[in-house]
Chain A
Amino acid sequence: METSQGITLAALAIHFLVGLSRAMILFIVCSGLSFVLGVLRVPNVAHGSLYMIGAFSAFSIFTLLGGGAVAFWAALILAPFVVAIVSLIAERSLFKHLYQREHLMLLLFTFALMLILGDLVKIIWGAQYRSIMAPEFLRGSFPLFGASLPRYNVFLLIVGPLVAIGLWLFTNKTKIGKIARAAAVDMEMVGALGINVSWVFAFAFVLGCFLAGMGGALVAPTISITIGMDHDLIIEAFLIVVIGGLGNMWGAMVGSLIFGLTQSFGVLFLPQFAIVFPYTAVVIVLLIRPKGLLKSVW
Chain B
Amino acid sequence: MLDVETINTYYGLSHILFDVSLKVKSGQVVCLLGRNGAGKTTTLKSILGLTPPKMGRIRFKGEEIAGEQPFRLVRKGIGYVPDDRRIFADLTVGENLEIAAKKAAGREDWDEEKVYKLFPTLKGFASRRGGFLSGGEQKMLAIGRALMGNPEFLLLDEPTEGLAPALVRSLGETITRLKEAGLTVLLAEQNVKFTLKLSDYGYIIDNGRICYQGTVKELMEDDDVRKTCGI
Roughly how many angstroms separate A196 CA and B102 CA in the complex, as a whole number?
12
Instruction: Tell me whether A182 and B80 are in contact in the complex, defined as CB-CB below 8 angstroms, given that A189-B86, A192-B48, A194-B74 are known contacts.
Output: no
A-B Cβ contacts below 8 A, count: 55
Instruction: Determine if A185 and B70 form an interchain contact, defined as CB atoms under 8 angstroms apart.
Output: no
User: Which one, B71, B80, B98, B99, contacts A196 given CB within 8 A?
Assistant: B71
Tell me if A181 is interfacial: C-beta within 8 Å of chain B: yes
Tell me if A119 is interfacial: C-beta within 8 Å of chain B: no
Instruction: Determine if A192 and B99 form an interchain contact, defined as CB atoms under 8 angstroms apart.
Output: no
Roughly how many angstroms separate A195 CA and B71 CA in the complex, as a whole number?
6
Instruction: Determine if A194 and B50 form an interchain contact, defined as CB atoms under 8 angstroms apart.
Output: no
Instruction: Determine if B90 and A181 form an interchain contact, defined as CB atoms under 8 angstroms apart.
Output: yes
Number of residues from A at the complex interface, CB < 8 A: 17
Tell me if B3 is interfacial: C-beta within 8 Å of chain A: no
- Complex interface bits, B72-90 against A, C-beta within 8 A gives 1, otherwise 0: 0011000010100010111
How many Å from the CB of A38 to the closest CB on chain B?
Answer: 11
Tell me if A2 is interfacial: C-beta within 8 Å of chain B: no
Roughly how many angstroms separate A182 CA and B145 CA in the complex, as a whole number?
13
Tell me if A77 is interfacial: C-beta within 8 Å of chain B: no
Tell me if A193 is interfacial: C-beta within 8 Å of chain B: yes
Roughly how many angstroms separate A189 CA and B99 CA in the complex, as a whole number?
11
Tell me if A178 is interfacial: C-beta within 8 Å of chain B: yes
Tell me if B19 is interfacial: C-beta within 8 Å of chain A: no
Set of chain A residues within 8 Å of B145, measured between Cβ atoms: 193
Tell me if B69 is interfacial: C-beta within 8 Å of chain A: yes
Instruction: Determine if B99 and A175 form an interchain contact, defined as CB atoms under 8 angstroms apart.
Output: yes
Q: Identify 11 residue pairs between A and B in the complex whose beta-carbon atoms are under 8 Å apart, listed by A's number.
A: A175-B98, A178-B91, A188-B50, A191-B69, A191-B70, A191-B71, A192-B74, A193-B99, A193-B100, A194-B74, A197-B71
Q: List 3 A-B pairs, minimum CB-CB distance, nearest first.
A: A194-B74, A182-B88, A189-B86
Can you add 19 more A-B contacts, CB < 8 Å, to A189-B88, A191-B74, A192-B71? A175-B99, A178-B91, A178-B99, A181-B88, A182-B90, A182-B91, A185-B90, A189-B86, A191-B69, A191-B70, A191-B71, A192-B48, A192-B50, A192-B82, A193-B102, A193-B146, A194-B71, A195-B99, A196-B71
